[in-house]
């Protein structure tokens, strides 16, 4: 009572303390998510100041994932919606700036075009009827708010498409090449030069003689920032603790499946006596036994050697009827097999048929009106004709068969056992080539001719009990314990050394993006990627993650914020550039003389010639040299260029002849070619340029 009285006396003080604690908790959560208010929690992204709301974005992702089918995942759907929404926001902003609007007549025309194949909106003349549209809208508005909302969205999309098309047409209309541009293109492709040149190749100086420092790489990247921009990236490495069955788990599973071989005695509560339950050796109903005791249901099919588990195929194919084999292990499962029957039979056969359907047969189209009796009578009649003269089979199939194979004369090609429905399958594999007969299936009556068959091989019909070997609770607990110990040790120890000591493979994964989802060797896992990019996660940090069949302990090995490429990543591209620049300087300094012959002699190279050099394909010799060719085209015949730092080495060029292409009466064809090349890709090019320029704040990682 004394404690309760004390609490009552300090009630206001305690309430204040609790309130402050709650405020601190909420504030820390907001700060940890990098937001100063609810905006960060409710906005997927901000594009040039325009917000994409979280709620509507997530609803679109869910709808898109449903439409994509059962095999689609949330990441795929999210990326599709992201691309679509980003394009919508960027293009709507541009359309608004230009001032393009959709007139009612334009929207009506576009709406009618979209509905042109929907009979709901067509009149007797087959035209879209305004009255039917209004009737439909009034109907769904009164009966289905959801359908009415979908209609409004449909109309909005139509209007957006109209203004988008207008915008794109304006862009493409401004991209038509002029006649003057066509003339320029003609000469660009057809004017050419004859040259004499000296090339001092960069390979004259060994790479080892030219050093490039990290500071030089860094300066180059900064000076060419547009070429070396990268999104945020992270590198990780991980080890995998897999929940695999232990040796004792395998032995226990083997004992359990072996016990199925023998009869067992069970007490019957109804009869108050012991019943003997037949085991796998003695049961009379193998299908029931397998379905009751196996992880894989009974498979009633003839199997050839190629169909059997590769590791045991040789042993199984040599068994006889009644033999029991196993248990044997395949992958992570134990198998117990009994041979129910054996025979020699082909493993493939050709066949053709004439199918006569009747009302009620499987997947029969509405055009089928024959009764079963009528179909049987027709089938018997056709069978008689074919038996008398097999050469008429194809002709009769084309005329009478209710099957897509009719156009091929009834030919069904090559089949393997089990591919056709059972009665048809039995007929073509149990009868020799040339046999003609009538087979009834759920599809109707088939007049069948057995075609060419492969050589007979031994086939088995098996009853097989399959039991997956699962890790026990003890094994699962041991794996968890080992993974936890590694995680703790890796926080202060050497990740790679610890993995080596535990005989674990370290798997590196480089250049992960913030919105990536797939990790090689693990699969789809946003949790690991989100952790790697968290602000508080530092290089060297480790963490354990639950994944299917075990645990992953991951370590961050590198993090790059959005911006310029790191020296390490840029070096492979930048070092050759800087090295060649330094080599060019060294070559220039070593050159003596001014004429081509003098330079060639001083450098131990020869004067070479090139003819027909043009700007459309700017090559000298076998090397692409746009800079050198461009300078050469700016040099008069008989004149010599200065030293030129090219792609392959340092050049000095003398223009010996300029060969202009003959004038044409019209350059319209070249202008049209330029337009045809430019216009088709204009729409995407415009969008990509706008996207590159846009200020995009992407918050998707906060929600996915």
Report the CATH number that the domain containing residue 203 is assigned in CATH.
3.10.50
- Please give the mean pLDDT across all residues of the chain: 90
Tally of structural domains, the chain: 6
In the structure, what pLDDT confidence band is assigned to residue 703 with cuts at 50, 70 and 90? confident
| DSSP reduced 3-state for 665 | coil
Domain boundary among 526, 561, 596: 561
If you write DSSP's letter for every residue of 534-582 in order, what string do you get?
STT--TT-EEEEEETTEEEEEEEEEEE-SEEPPHHHHHHHHHHHHHHHH
629 and 538 in one domain?
no
Q: Are 447 and 343 in contact (CB under 8 A)?
A: no
Give the span between the Cα atoms of 648 and 625, in whole angstroms: 8
Q: What are the helix (H) ranges across 345-472? A: 372-388, 393-400, 422-430
637 and 555 in one domain?
no
Check whether 568 has a pLDDT greater than 50.
Answer: yes
CA-nearest of 555, 560, 558, 559 to 492 is 555
Q: Are 166 and 99 in contact (CB under 8 A)?
A: no
Q: In this structure, what DSSP letter does residue 207 have?
A: G
Tokens of 280: 């796998």
272 and 253 in one domain?
yes
Give the span between the Cα atoms of 516 and 528, in whole angstroms: 10
Check whether 426 has a pLDDT greater than 70.
Answer: yes
Surface-to-core class of residue 619, CB atoms within 10 Å of its CB (0-12 exposed, 13-18 middle, 19+ buried)? middle
Instruction: List residues bridging with 594 in a β-sheet.
Output: none
572 and 485 in one domain?
no
The verdict on residue 679 lying in a domain is no
| DSSP reduced 3-state for 303 | strand
The verdict on residue 153 lying in a domain is yes
pLDDT of residue 63: 84
254 and 238 in one domain?
no
575 and 485 in one domain?
no
513 and 606 in one domain?
no
Give the span between the Cα atoms of 330 and 273, in whole angstroms: 40
For residue 296, what are the CA distances in angstroms to 226, 311, 464, 676? Answer: 58, 19, 8, 60
Contacts of residue 652, Cβ cutoff 8 Å, sequence gap at least 6: 197, 198, 596, 599, 640, 641, 642, 643, 644
In the structure, what pLDDT confidence band is assigned to residue 678 with cuts at 50, 70 and 90? confident
573 and 632 in one domain?
yes
The verdict on residue 483 lying in a domain is yes
The verdict on residue 500 lying in a domain is yes
Check whether 618 has a pLDDT greater than 60.
Answer: yes
403 and 333 in one domain?
no
- Residue 429 half-sphere exposure, CB side, CA atoms within 13 Å? 25
Rounded to an integer, what is the distance from CA 355 to the centroid of its chain?
41
Q: Are 695 and 47 in contact (CB under 8 A)?
A: yes
Domain boundary among 292, 316, 345: 345
The verdict on residue 169 lying in a domain is yes
pTM above 0.85, yes or no: no
365 and 336 in one domain?
no
Q: Are 230 and 562 in contact (CB under 8 A)?
A: yes
pLDDT of residue 13: 43
Q: What are the helix (H) ranges across 294-431? A: 313-317, 372-388, 393-400, 422-430
What CATH number is given to the structural domain containing 370?
Answer: 3.10.50.40
The verdict on residue 498 lying in a domain is yes
- Residue 35 half-sphere exposure, CB side, CA atoms within 13 Å? 17
Kindly report the three-state secondary structure assignment for every residue of 246-294. Answer: CHHHHHHHHHHHHHCCCCEEEEECCCCEEEEECCCCCCCCHHHHHHHHC
The verdict on residue 308 lying in a domain is yes
The verdict on residue 390 lying in a domain is yes
Domain, as residue range, for 328: 247-345
Q: How many helices, marked H, and strands, marked E, lie in the chain?
A: 24, 27
420 and 361 in one domain?
yes
Q: What are the helix (H) ranges across 506-559? A: 526-533
Tokens of 108: 């009506």
Domain boundary among 502, 534, 561: 561
Give the span between the Cα atoms of 372 and 387, in whole angstroms: 22
pLDDT of residue 277: 87
Question: Cα-flanking dihedrals φ and ψ of residue 447, to 5°?
Answer: -90, 115
501 and 576 in one domain?
no
Q: In this structure, what DSSP letter does residue 462 have?
A: E
pLDDT of residue 10: 42
pLDDT in tens, 74-127: 888 898 999 999 999 999 899 889 888 888 889 889 999 999 888 889 888 889
pLDDT of residue 619: 95
């Amino acid at each position: 009572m004394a404690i309760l009285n004390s609490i009552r006396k300090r009630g206001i003080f305690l309430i204040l303390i609790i309130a402050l604690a709650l405020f601190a908790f909420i504030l820390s959560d907001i700060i940890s998510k990098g937001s100063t208010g609810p905006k960060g929690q409710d906005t997927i992204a901000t594009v040039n100041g325009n917000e994409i709301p979280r709620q509507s974005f997530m609803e679109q992702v869910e709808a898109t994932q449903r439409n994509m089918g059962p095999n689609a995942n949330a990441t795929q759907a999210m990326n599709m919606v992201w691309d679509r929404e980003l394009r919508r926001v960027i293009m709507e902003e541009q359309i608004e700036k230009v001032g393009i609007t959709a007139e009612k007549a334009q929207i009506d025309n576009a709406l009618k075009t979209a509905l042109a194949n929907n009979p709901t909106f067509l009149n007797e003349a087959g035209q879209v009827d305004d009255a039917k549209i209004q009737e439909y809208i009034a109907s769904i508005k009164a009966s289905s708010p959801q359908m009415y909302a979908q209609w409004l969205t449909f109309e909005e999309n139509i209007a957006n498409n109209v203004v988008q098309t207008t915008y794109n047409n304006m862009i493409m209309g401004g991209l038509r090449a002029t006649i003057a541009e066509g003339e320029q293109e003609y000469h660009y492709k057809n004017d050419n030069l004859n040259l004499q040149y000296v090339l001092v190749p960069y390979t004259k100086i060994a790479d080892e003689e030219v050093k490039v420092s990290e500071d030089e790489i860094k300066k180059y990247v900064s000076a060419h920032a547009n070429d070396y921009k990268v999104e945020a990236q992270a590198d990780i490495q991980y080890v995998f603790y897999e929940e695999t069955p232990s040796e004792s788990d395998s032995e226990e599973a083997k004992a359990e499946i072996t016990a199925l071989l023998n009869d067992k005695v069970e007490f019957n509560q109804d009869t108050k006596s012991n019943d003997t339950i037949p085991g796998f050796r003695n049961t009379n109903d193998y299908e029931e036994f397998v379905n009751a005791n196996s992880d894989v249901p009974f498979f009633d099919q003839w199997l050839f050697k190629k169909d059997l588990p590769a590791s045991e195929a040789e042993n199984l194919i040599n068994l006889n009827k009644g033999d029991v084999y196993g248990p044997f292990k395949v992958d992570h499962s134990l198998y117990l097999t009994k041979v129910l029957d054996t025979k020699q039979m082909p493993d493939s056969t050709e066949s053709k048929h004439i199918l006569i359907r009747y009302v009620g047969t499987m997947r029969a189209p509405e055009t089928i009106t024959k009764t079963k009796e009528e179909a049987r009578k027709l089938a018997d009649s056709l069978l008689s004709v074919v038996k008398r003269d097999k050469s008429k089979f194809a002709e009769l199939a084309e005329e009478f068969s209710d099957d897509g194979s009719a156009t091929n004369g009834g030919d069904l090609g090559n089949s393997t056992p089990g591919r056709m429905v059972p009665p048809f399958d039995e007929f073509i594999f149990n009868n020799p080539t040339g046999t003609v007969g009538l087979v009834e299936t759920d599809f109707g009556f088939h007049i069948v001719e057995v075609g060419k068959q492969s050589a007979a091989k031994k086939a088995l019909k098996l009853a097989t009990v399959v039991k997956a070997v699962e890790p026990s609770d003890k094994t699962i607990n041991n794996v968890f314990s080992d993974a936890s110990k590694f995680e703790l040790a890796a926080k202060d120890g050497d990740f790679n050394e610890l993995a080596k000591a535990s005989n674990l493979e370290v798997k590196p994964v480089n250049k992960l993006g913030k919105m990536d989802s797939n990790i090689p060797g693990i699969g789809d896992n946003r949790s690991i990627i989100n952790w790697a990019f968290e602000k508080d996660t530092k290089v060297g940090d480790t963490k354990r993650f639950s994944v299917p069949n075990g645990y992953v302990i991951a370590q961050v090995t590198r993090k790059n914020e959005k911006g310029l490429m790191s020296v390490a990543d840029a070096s492979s591209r930048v070092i050759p550039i800087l090295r060649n620049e330094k080599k060019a300087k060294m070559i220039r300094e070593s050159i003596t003389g001014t004429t081509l012959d003098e330079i060639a002699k001083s450098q131990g190279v020869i004067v070479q010639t090139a003819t027909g050099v043009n700007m459309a394909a700017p090559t000298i010799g076998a090397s692409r040299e746009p800079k050198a060719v461009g300078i050469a085209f700016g040099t008069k015949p008989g004149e010599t260029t200065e030293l030129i730092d090219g792609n392959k080495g340092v050049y000095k060029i003398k223009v010996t002849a300029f060969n202009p292409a003959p004038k044409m009466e019209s350059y319209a064809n070249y202008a049209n070619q330029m337009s045809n090349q430019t216009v088709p890709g204009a729409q995407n090019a415009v969008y990509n340029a706008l996207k590159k320029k846009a200020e995009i704040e992407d918050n998707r990682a906060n929600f996915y």
